[in-house]
Structure 1
Amino acid sequence: MDTQRLILFIVFSFSVLMLWDTWQKDQHPAPVGQVAQEKAGTSQTPSPTALPADAPAKDFGGPLQSGERVKVQTDLIYAEIDTLGGDVRRLELLKHHDTQDKSKNFVLLEDDPKHLYIAQSGLIGNDLPTHKTLFSNAATQYKLAEGANEIQARLTWVGANGVKVDKIFTFRKGSYVVDVAYEINNGSGTRLEPHAYFQLVRNGQPPLGNPKFVSTYTGFAVYTEKDKFNKISFSDIDKNKASYPKQSDDGWVAMVQHYFLSAWLPANQPREYYAKKLGDDLYDAGVILPVGLIEPGSVKKVTVPLYVGPQEQDHLSKVAPGLNLVVDYGILTVISAPLFWVLAFLNKLVHNWGAAIILLTILIKLAFYPLSAKSYRSMAQMRVLGPKLQKLKEQYGDDRQRLHTAMMELYKTEKVNPLGGCLPVVVQIPVFIALYWALLNSVEMRQAPFMLWIHDLSSPDPFYILPIVMGITMIIQTKLNPTPPDPIQAKVMMVMPIAFSVFFFFFPAGLVLYWVVNNTLSIAQQWYVTHGVEQEKVAAKRHGKH
């Protein structure tokens, strides 16, 4: 096997590993503990009190209806709450721009039929209000006052039996967490024992502007301390194959998409998780909590925080245990997470994510310098042997057995290992893939400018300059490698840089920047090592003459 075949093998291996990692991220097998419990038909987690027969949380109830809109604005969020059910029907993130029109705010929740994605909640039992019940409102506009730390929007429902329910939304300064509370005043003559449900409703369409040529997850997720992070894809719900813990006394339920998420985050208490199909291309996932016994004349309150915002890794773990796991790096998380930590540290020093990517690439290159040098030295030795290998091929023609034997003798005589360039490169492949996922899944890269024409490291280069430069660096690397004796291999190696450049036209600029810098450093190192080997060969010839 010559060096060019090794390079093709490495490129193929790299592609297979990326596909495998993507497939692993999408398959989300159930945790071992959960599977064992399902097979045994038992669960160690406590169950909530049995639900009433009529559980409206399990029924969307046909087309979405509307009441009056209550608008709330803080320094980070603009929200619209519908008085019908108290649904959060629209939520804009004021510090994040729209993917396609940067003059607009990014809209995460909306009741557009083409991209339906809303947060609902309600009460179950005792004829209490659900997400289909009309509330009254005292005001239609709320705005966080300067110097204030929080603001509340209150909706009210009064039943015929004297029960009063206030649905209270609490927004805080500098926070993407909204507390959604039910305050139940039992003015009736009978005790109440309701449950509360909190759910996210979404259609199965990917977000607008979602990357087309890279794999990102859009779907539900459930986390518990015991079973950890469980994805619930729309396709699994369609096939009735969704696997996740149904009952627990901790955890959260979320809707995850590229860069952003929403999640209901109840406090530790018994709860039931559910996910189901509501209709054609419409799904929901949520959690049901027991409110407890409410005697006549008494008041009880249940509160569940709702996080609606970006997947900022520094903050998610502080919001709720395990919430940082929505930033999913797949099977290489153990490498990707530290790489992103270093990248974030470098960004704090230089205040530019593009410059941080360059510095991180240099650090990785320095870390692998000894391995890379060994690989390039092996390639350089094969390059020096190129003329001799060509002569052997001309001498033995199509007699592959004799040609192979002669090549092995030549390698032995010249003390060259034809496989010496393979292992050092293969060892680095997991790091490259891990950095790929770290850059791809970091919301911090979204719309982060670099310099000149690169205004968004998460979007493709608008003028394709970086992919073209990357193609040029690959051509230079090809010239530095030993020339393949096989004409077909030589043509493949020449076409590969062009194919990769076109492929990278659609990749985020931050990823292409990494490859450009990595290739440039590789060219410098490979030239230095190759030049050294060639000089050694010249010196050896001179020494032999004397």
Structure 2
Amino acid sequence: MSNDSSRLIAFIILSGIILFAYNLLFPVKPKQIQQTSEEKTAVTATQTLKSTPESLKITPLNKETKISNPEEKFYEIENDLVKIKFSTIGAVIKSYELKKYSDSKEENKKTNLELIPNKTSNTYMALYSQEFNINNDEWNYAGTEKNNENTKIIFKYNKIKGIEIIKEFILSNNSYLINLNIAFNNKTKNPVLLKDMQLSWGPNIHFLPADVNKYKDSFYQYNKICYPLKNNSIKQYQINLNAKQDKIVFIDILPDWVVLKDLYFMASFIFKNKNDIKNVFYKESAAGFTYLTANLKDIVLEPMSSDTIKIDSYIGPQEYKRLKKFKMEEIIDLGWFRFLGVWMFYAMDFLFKITKNYGWAIILLTLIVRLILWIPSQHSYKQMKDTQSKMKIINPRMETLKKIYKDDPQKLNEEMLKLYKEYKINPLGGCLPMLLQLPIFIALYQTLISMVELKGASFIWWLKDLSRPDPLYILPVFMGVTMIIQQKMSQTTTMSTGSMAQQNILMYGMPVFLTIMAFSWPSGLLLYWGMSNVLAIAQQIIVNKTK
């Protein structure tokens, strides 16, 4: 293989890695879901109902006097994972704290991670009605019940004459799942129709648009909407952080669930009975504010009867094993080679159970991956070493051919190929094993970026959070230095001055470029990359010592 061919192949492989990294850093926005003919401009958009008998309608006369300034009170429930604060205004969630996670970068100032980004709003798990102002009015706290399986908090609304609405939030032990039961009781002697009701979450999850630039890491993903299609694939819509106008998009199917998420955290509606809802839509407001809403079914209550709507919500981290129970694990982005990414996750989970530390789990997983790739890597290194030895022999003849055919590139290539064939040099001989390694590298790369389990996971004294960049830049520099050493060991020494200069640019320029980019990469990823380079160097030393 000629020096020019060696450089070209190396450049193609390394360029592929750079393009892959670039696509991760600056992903192309997913194609927006085509809006249906139902799309409207008001967040309270609902389907028009067929006319109903006048006797079934609740008239304004049935509403009691509106309270202008209702008193707001707060009540909390919690388990080992979350602490939830509720408000009596609208019976909504005011605070949702994750006990195992933190947004603070300072060890001595760590607090629970808050998933409600706008605490001044009464719009998280809010029940709306176009007929009654139930979301901005005071509900009665009806008590908290706790047993060995869950904790239940109950709110009641009795300000519609003869109608009682009850919201029950049931938090399971050791879980991020909330069961919401909304009961409607007709205490009158007449049939009643309740219509144009909605259940909503928003704006956003974890961060508001103004907070993103202050707190995001380099791989942070702004809010997305996800839901399953009938073919078991996942539809995703990336919310536009710089949206200039409001937009409402109806989901064109009745999904089993719908999710509002960022890179690590999510809120969801899980529909236990699809007959409880008419449709689902999301509102993308100007400047990136996002609301997720389900239009609830119309309820006809016979005299002295009741009906209940049941909707579950998983609100918390995107932990693979927990989401798998609800068939929502596909929302975690494990990249192009998802099946390998799933294997990587389970391997990481198994190694963490042994080591009790994700840093050591990453190192052990890197070692396992290098052992799996040992044979193809060994073949690649030996092929390259054999090629370099033969290149030293034919280099004088190559220089002669370049002088003879300097004005005829086509003839020069023909003579070069004859020379390769004579010495049994395969220009691509060492490349195939390297290409076979790329899917594993990409899968592990994407898994380490997407694992919420790494958030807040510490390793050694200066690495307090493997999901964040290295604060001292030790790992990026370590990765860059080991890349230079690795390329230096495989450098061909029998080159012309011009060729040597070009190879030096490639050898030093690429690691320096990636090192600068890596200053903002998660330290868990850099720990893997640096250790992988060290093991590759060790393998190359072994190959170089063999005859």
Instruction: State TM-score, norm by structure 1.
Output: 0.81
Number of aligned residues: 500
1:471 counterpart residue number: 480
Select 2:11's aligned residue among 8, 27, 34: 8
For residues 392 and 67 of structure 1, the distance between their equivalents in structure 2, rounded to whole angstroms, comes to: 89
SS of residue matched to 1:198 = strand
**What residue is the counterpart of 2:234 in the other structure?**
229
- The answer on whether the counterparts of 2:185 and 2:304 sit within 8 Å (CA) in structure 1 is yes
Q: In structure 1, what is the equivalent of residue 62 of structure 2? A: none
The equivalent position to 1:424 in structure 2, one of 408, 426, 433, is: 433
Provide the secondary structure at the position in 1 that maps to 2:261: strand
Contact 2:82 2:98 in 1 (8 A): yes
Show the counterpart of 1:437: 446
Could you tell me which residue of structure 2 aligns to residue 302 of structure 1? 309
Partner of 2:112 in structure 1?
105
User: Does the CA contact (< 8 Å) of 2:272 and 2:311 recur in 1?
Assistant: yes
The change in CA–CA distance for 1:108 and 1:25 in structure 2 (over 3 A counts) is farther
Query: What letter corresponds to residue 309 of structure 1 in structure 2?
Result: G
Distance in 2 separating the partners of 1:400 and 1:340: 54
CA contact (8 A) 2:25 2:218 kept: no
Specify the code of the residue in structure 1 equivalent to 2:273: N
Counterpart position of 1:247: 253
Q: Deviation digits for residues 217-236 of structure 1, max 9, x if unmatched?
A: 52222235556422222239
Provide the residue aligned with 2:520 in structure 1.
506
Residue-by-residue CA offset, 1:419-449 (whole Å, 9 max, x unaligned): 2122221222122111111111111111112
Find the residue that maps to 1:493 and give its secondary structure. helix
Q: Where do 1:287-436 residues align within 5 Å?
A: 287-290=294-297, 292-318=299-325, 320=326, 322-388=327-393, 391-392=396-397, 394-395=399-400, 396-397=402-403, 398-399=406-407, 401=409, 404-436=413-445
In the TM superposition, residue 112 of structure 1 has moved relative to its aligned partner by: 4.8
What's the counterpart of residue 41 of structure 2? none
Alpha-carbon distance in 2 for matches of 1:389, 1:216: 52
Higher mean C-alpha displacement, 199-208 vs 459-468: 199-208
Alpha carbons of structure 1 residues 364 and 406: separation in structure 2 relative to 1, 3 Å: same
CA RMSD of aligned residues (A): 3.4
3-state SS in 1 of match to 2:193: coil
- Are residues 1:456 and 2:469 paired? no
Q: 2:506 aligns with which of 461, 482, 492?
A: 492
Deviation of the 1:170 alpha carbon: 2.0
CA deviation map 1:83-131 (0-9, x unaligned): 2222212211112122435521100113257xx8952332546x35543
SS of the counterpart of 1:466? helix
CA contact (8 A) 2:390 2:425 kept: no
| One-letter amino acid of the counterpart of residue 446, structure 1 | K
- How do 1:201-216 and structure 2 match up within 5 A? 201-203=202-204, 205=209, 207=212, 211-214=216-219, 216=221
- Compared CA separation, residues 490 and 461, structure 1 to 2 (3 A): same
In 2, Cα distance between the equivalents of 1:505 and 1:477?
A: 20
Quick check: 127-136 or 496-505, which moved more? 127-136
Structure 2 unaligned blocks of 5 or more: 38-45, 52-56, 58-69
Is contact 2:89–2:122 with CA below 8 Å preserved after alignment? no
- The DSSP-based 3-state class of the residue aligned with 1:235 is coil
2:199 is aligned with 1:198: yes
2:157 aligned residue: 157
The answer to whether the Cα contact below 8 Å between 2:25 and 2:219 also exists between their aligned partners in 1 is no
Tell me how far 1:29 sits from its aligned partner. Answer: 7.1
Q: TM-score, normalised by structure 2?
A: 0.81
Question: How far does residue 253 in structure 1 lie from its aligned partner after superposition?
Answer: 1.7
Structure 2 contact 128–199 (Cα < 8 Å) conserved: no
* Structure 1 residue 14, shift from structure 2 partner: 2.2
Per-residue CA deviation, residues 267-303 of structure 1 (Å, 9 max, x unaligned), is 0323311112345542212222326421121122222
Residue 515 of structure 1 corresponds to which residue in structure 2?
A: 529
| In 1: Cα distance, 2:297 partner to 2:231 partner | 21
Q: Secondary structure at the match of 2:462?
A: coil
